[in-house]
Amino acid sequence: MNFADKLIKAVNQKESHACVGLDPRWGRIPEEIRNKAIAEQGETLVAVAEAIIEFNQGIIDAVAQYVPVVKPQIAFYEQYGHQGIRAFEETVAYAQEKGLLVISDAKRNDIGSTAKAYADGHLGTANVLEGLTVDLNTDALTITPYLGCDGIKPFVNNCQKNDKGIFILVKTSNSSAHELQDIKAEDDELVFEKLADLVDEWGTEVVGEKGYSSIGAVVGATYPEEAEKLRNLMPHSYFLVPGYGAQGGGAEDVVPCFNEDGYGAVVNSSRGIIFAYEKEEYSADYKKAAQQAVINMNQDINTALKKYKKFAF
């Protein structure tokens, strides 16, 4: 099944457009988890990996019933070397075991021949031995577009071949996004609009039964006006929408990322969910807090969609 169809099926099952970002920060993992890992493994990177794995598994158990997809950002793992990568792999495997789709947020790209290695590692099978599986193998991957189409093709090929998805950075959520993305390109079109045209074009071969392509776009919740334009430029692309919660984006801000059919975007929140236990209004138990935060986020988004879109849960 095409990735976009898989995503929509999962969205329908959970009645949720939310994505939980698994971005663990050592100092914000509950103290009892950190202390236990250090007691068992000493002050080592093995302890760091064990703490991350236990924390993530707790979050996954708490939210799996309520969201279709999770997004581990690989920077929070690879900073701890091979132990961090082990934690990433075990997190991905656990999430998939619990029926969640996994977007690997690794923002990859390179010249075509190197991009193929990235594509095979994250969205396929490294071509070494028959039957060898790759533990980084996720359902979708974030991609930077800077190198042009030869760096994109290997990812698109693997999406087609292996029913995977990609989300290409089009309009990012950060405050300096405009420095490059809003530069005027040809015909007064801005760079991010030109990118949107390309994403739409790259997606034409990978459209699923529900009318959405597996070639998606990253569009920040912090730019609702631009999102409206982008929705029109890429009617068949699914959007990954970061910036909700900790970066200030709210439910009304993400509405323009959706089509009238009530689909077309998954909204990510990382810190707002996984560290909800630090806030007074939530339980001090990090799992209960994450679960409540996700329930609130679903309600928030579904209510806003009901108000503005023809179809919604």
Ligand X SMILES: O=C(O)c1cc(=O)[nH]c(=O)n1[C@@H]1O[C@H](COP(=O)(O)O)[C@@H](O)[C@H]1O
The footprint of ligand X on residues 51-80 (CB under 6 A) is 73
Tell me the three state secondary structure of residue 269: strand
Question: Judged by CB under 6 A, which stretch of 40-48, 132-140, 240-248, 305-313 contacts ligand X?
Answer: 240-248
Q: Which residue has the CB atom at the shortest distance from ligand X? A: 172
269 near ligand X, judged by CB under 6 A: yes
Query: CA-to-CA distance for 205 and 201, rounded, in angstroms?
Result: 9
Residue 107 annotated to the active site: yes
Residue 209 Cβ, how far from ligand X at the closest point, in Å? 26
Size of the residue set binding ligand X (CB under 6 A):
20
107, 210, 288, 309: the active-site residue: 107
Residue 234 Cβ, how far from ligand X at the closest point, in Å? 16
Determine which residue in the list 84, 145, 151, 242 makes contact with ligand X, applying CB under 6 A: 242
Query: CA-to-CA distance for 11 and 128, rounded, in angstroms?
Result: 35
Q: Site map for ligand X, 17-56, x if CB under 6 A?
A: ----x-x---------------------------------
Instruction: For residue 263, give every residue at least 6 positions away whose Cβ sits within 8 Å of its Cβ, in sequence order, or none.
Output: 8, 11, 210, 212, 238
Residue 169 Cβ, how far from ligand X at the closest point, in Å? 6
Residue 67 CA: distances (Å) to CA of 16, 170, 198, 212, 225: 6, 24, 30, 20, 26
What backbone torsions phi and psi does residue 42 show, to the nearest 5 degrees? 75, 180
| Pick from 81, 82, 71, 68: nearest CA to 24 | 71
Determine which residue in the list 154, 208, 220, 264 makes contact with ligand X, applying CB under 6 A: 220
246 near ligand X, judged by CB under 6 A: yes
Distance separating the N- and C-terminal Cα atoms of the chain:
23
Question: Judged by CB under 6 A, which stretch of 7-15, 148-156, 170-178, 280-288 contacts ligand X?
Answer: 170-178
Determine which residue in the list 105, 193, 200, 226 makes contact with ligand X, applying CB under 6 A: 105
Instruction: For residue 265, give every residue at least 6 positions away whose Cβ sits within 8 Å of its Cβ, in sequence order, or none.
Output: 17, 219, 238, 239, 240, 241, 254, 257, 258
Q: Which residue in the block uniquely carries the two structure tokens 């800077």?
A: 146
Write out the catalytic residue numbers: 107
Residues that bind ligand X (CB under 6 A): 21, 23, 73, 105, 142, 172-174, 218, 220, 242-243, 245-247, 268-272
